[in-house]
Amino acid sequence: MQIGPPVGFDAAMGFTFVEGSGDRVVLTWDVTEANLQPNAIVHGGTYCGAVESAASWGASLWLGERGTVVGVANQTDFLKAAAAGRMTATATPIHRGRSQQLWLVEIVDEQQRLVARGQVRLQNLTPQ
């Protein structure tokens, strides 16, 4: 399995996957009006979506042909407001078990300042 071109939500948010494996996923996006909330800063949903997308891809790549994954919890903290520039989200595993995985995702701006951090817990769905 490989990460293909962004579709759906990932495409709508402008996400680009620059690295993808079962050990690490990196995605970037340039902030556009589509990513902003009414106060002209990045909408928290954009950060949550980047966290979910990066973690889900990493978990899926790690599980591979053994099954599929589905997110069951996403906890994202917004640490610094941003209104423009390129954001980079990096996902790495905290725990990968038989039935669940937990991934950490950190999002930095162009100056490498941490703007958001999240964790996603995913259920491994395997054939019975």
Q: Which tokens sit at 100?
A: 């669940």
How far, in Å, CA of 94 to CA of 85, rounded?
28
Digit-coded pLDDT (tens) for 98-109:
999 999 999 999
Nearest to 44 by CA among 89, 78, 10: 78
Question: Residue 85: its pLDDT value, please?
Answer: 97
> What are the chain's domains?
8-125 (3.10.129.10)
Task: Return the bridge partners of 102, or none.
Answer: 95, 121
Strands 86-96 and 68-78, how do they pair? unpaired
Q: For the chain (length 128 residues), average pLDDT per consecutive 10?
A: 87 96 98 95 97 98 96 98 97 97 98 98 93
Question: Residue 128: its pLDDT value, please?
Answer: 74
How far, in Å, CA of 98 to CA of 103, rounded?
14
